[in-house]
Structure 1
Amino acid sequence: MVSKTEEAQVNRLENQVDNGGGGAWEYLCLVRKLKLRRSDKVLKHGLSILNDPSKRSSLGPEEWTLYEQAAIAAMVCQCLGDCIKVLQKKFPESKRVGRLEAMLLEAKGLWAEAEKAYSSLLEDNPLDQVIHKRRAAMAKAQGHLLGAIEWLNKYLEIFMADHDAWRELAEIYVSLQMYKQAAFCYEELILSQPTNPLYHLAYADVLYTLGGLENLQTAKKYYASAIDLTGGKNTRALYGRNKDDKETSELQSLAVTALEKDYKQTAPGNLSLLSSTLRSLKLSS
């Protein structure tokens, strides 16, 4: 997960580059390092370097890394082909370039051809994480959510520490109203990243949706955890905690105070609506 400091650094560099201040290569390296998806910016600034012979030659071997980064961004932006052609010419037998070729087939909507290419590549390297995840993404893109679930579960049997895959799987389960399965995914995420309030909040929401006394009691605990981890700044967690908690408590008082403060700052016009809602829940006077 990207920290606020890293995000601020990326935004600063992006603004600098967008306004002609230089630093395009540093920006592209940082985006790649943090695994951010800013495809339009990557394509624009990547091509500005690749299309300038002096800038391109100054990169040395990193030139080919940039071609790969720009090729992936181009596929996302539906500007297909040119960067991959350069890589194909330079590395005609490369499996890494072969993976890009398969991704290009996928981007063109040639699903059967892409699947065939991915299967062939996995025969040579069964532990290729990118290809396993691409197969799940391809199934999802075609609307085959159960297929995406199957691929993600197979992937997570091998790469259990991939937080993004667990989150993606949980979100698909929620979209299919498979809440028990989604709850398991969020449990895994909380175990691996116990200080991430978003996972506590999502888990609480799933448990609340499942219903039943035990689930509701557990949901309250995780809403409380989300409040604690955010210093009372997560409005959804505050509402979640309050909607079932009829007992007077220090946490409930914190939640009410924090909600009122948040609304005063961000939506003062809705403050009266908030007050009436809290009164109806018997949470304020």
Structure 2
Amino acid sequence: MVGASEEVELNRLENQVDNGGGGVWEYLCLVRKLKVRRSDKVLKHGLSILNDSKKRSKLGGEEWTLYEQVAVAAIDCQCLDVAKDCIKALQKQFPESRRVGRLEGMLLEAKGLWADAEKAYSSLLEDNPLDQVIHKRKISMAKAQGNVSAAIEGLNKYLDIYMADHDAWRELAEIYVSLQLYRQAAFCYEELILSQPTVPLHHLAYADVLYTLGGVENLQIAKKYYAATIDLTGGKNTRALYGICLCTIALGQLTKGRNKEDKESSELHSLAATALGKDYKYRAPDKVSLLTATLGNLKLS
């Protein structure tokens, strides 16, 4: 996840480069370091170096790193001839390289040659069965072909080995949510919260899933995780504030007549509604009347 200061620096460098102010190599290095996808920019600015022999010679051994970076960007942008040329240069420099083999597989994917790509990846896995990148490519291929069950199976097998891969847990959770398999998604978010307890988006997504499942117990837990999201974001998460309101409404309906729960829900609903009002006055003052009308329809019964 890119930090705020890193994103500011990246945007600054990008504007500088786009305006012809120099710093192309520094920008490309930062994109690579932060592992972000700015494929159109990388393709444009990377080629400006690779197509200039003087600039390219100044890179030394980093020339091949740039070839790889541009090849991936070209595949993303469907500039397959450029990708092919970059991969050929890498093949010549690094024959029998597994890393170059991955790029060849990605190029086959981009061409829609799924069987050939599968064969290439399987061959690479024979040499190195624990290659994380290749396993992920095979999962991505399954998703690209619409084979969701194969993607789920692949992710579960992958996570049996690489349990600390947060991106894989999040991807699996999102697939389960898309299939309305909320209990399975909840398990994935629980794993994410255990390993990254200070990431508010995990708490928020888990709360959403529990709210969707419904029932007194799930709603009570969802309310706590919405509250945790608000705490972790310094009270700035609008969606979590709405979640608190929705949970208190639902709990009020399910626990009607239980005086203690009614009072607690009413107080919490009032606090969340007040916070939402302040948030809207700051962020979208023209929408305050709409918020007031919406909250008016969400009164505790």
For the criterion TM > 0.5, the same-fold answer is: yes
Answer yes or no: is 1:32 the counterpart of 2:32: yes
What is aligned with 1:132?
A: 135
Retained in 1: the 8 A contact 2:222–2:247?
no
Answer yes or no: is 1:101 the counterpart of 2:118: no
Retained in 2: the 8 A contact 1:233–1:258?
no
Give the CA deviation at 1:29: 0.9
Answer yes or no: is 1:87 the counterpart of 2:90: yes
What is aligned with 1:274?
A: 291
Give the CA deviation at 1:92: 2.2
What is aligned with 1:265?
A: 282
Give the CA deviation at 1:154: 1.1
Retained in 1: the 8 A contact 2:125–2:131?
yes
What is aligned with 1:174?
A: 177
Give the CA deviation at 1:176: 0.7
Give the CA deviation at 1:252: 4.1
Cα deviation code 1:109-160 (max 9, x no counterpart): 1001100110000010111111000111110011111111111111111111
Q: Look up the SS of the partner of 1:161 in the other structure.
A: coil
Structure 2: any 5+ residue segments left out of the alignment? Answer: 253-264
Q: Which amino acid aligns with 1:279?
A: G
Q: How does the TM-score come out when normalised to structure 1?
A: 0.95
Q: Which amino acid aligns with 1:44?
A: K
Tell me which of 206, 210, 233 is aligned to 2:209: 206
Retained in 2: the 8 A contact 1:13–1:23?
yes
Cα deviation code 1:38-71 (max 9, x no counterpart): 1111111111111111111111101001100110
Q: Could you tell which deviates more after superposition, 233-242 or 91-100?
A: 91-100
| Structure 1 segment 1-285 matched on structure 2, within 5 A | 1-80=1-80, 81-245=84-248, 247-249=265-267, 252-282=269-299
Q: Which amino acid aligns with 1:267?
A: A
> For the residues of structure 2 that align with 1:265 and 1:118, how far apart are their CA atoms?
52
Give the CA deviation at 1:185: 0.6
Retained in 1: the 8 A contact 2:229–2:237?
yes
> For the residues of structure 2 that align with 1:274 and 1:209, how far apart are their CA atoms?
22
> For the residues of structure 2 that align with 1:52 and 1:148, how far apart are their CA atoms?
42
Retained in 2: the 8 A contact 1:232–1:254?
no
Q: Look up the SS of the partner of 1:243 in the other structure.
A: helix
Cα deviation code 1:201-251 (max 9, x no counterpart): 0000001111111111110000111111111111110000111225243x5
Give the CA deviation at 1:253: 4.4
State, as a whole percentage, how many aligned pairs show the same letter.
Answer: 78
Q: Look up the SS of the partner of 2:236 in the other structure.
A: coil
> For the residues of structure 1 that align with 2:166 and 2:87, how far apart are their CA atoms?
29
> For the residues of structure 2 that align with 1:281 and 1:253, how far apart are their CA atoms?
11
Retained in 1: the 8 A contact 2:277–2:288?
yes
Give the CA deviation at 1:88: 1.5
Retained in 1: the 8 A contact 2:211–2:247?
no
Q: Which amino acid aligns with 1:274?
A: L
Q: Look up the SS of the partner of 2:7 in the other structure.
A: helix
> For the residues of structure 2 that align with 1:207 and 1:46, how far apart are their CA atoms?
45
RMSD: 1.3
Aligned length: 282
> For the residues of structure 2 that align with 1:193 and 1:233, how far apart are their CA atoms?
20
Give the CA deviation at 1:265: 3.1
Q: Look up the SS of the partner of 1:84 in the other structure.
A: helix
Q: How does the TM-score come out when normalised to structure 2?
A: 0.90
Cα deviation code 1:159-192 (max 9, x no counterpart): 1111111111110110011111110110111111
Give the CA deviation at 1:6: 0.9
Q: Which amino acid aligns with 2:144?
A: A
Q: Look up the SS of the partner of 1:93 in the other structure.
A: coil
> For the residues of structure 1 that align with 2:271 and 2:216, how far apart are their CA atoms?
24
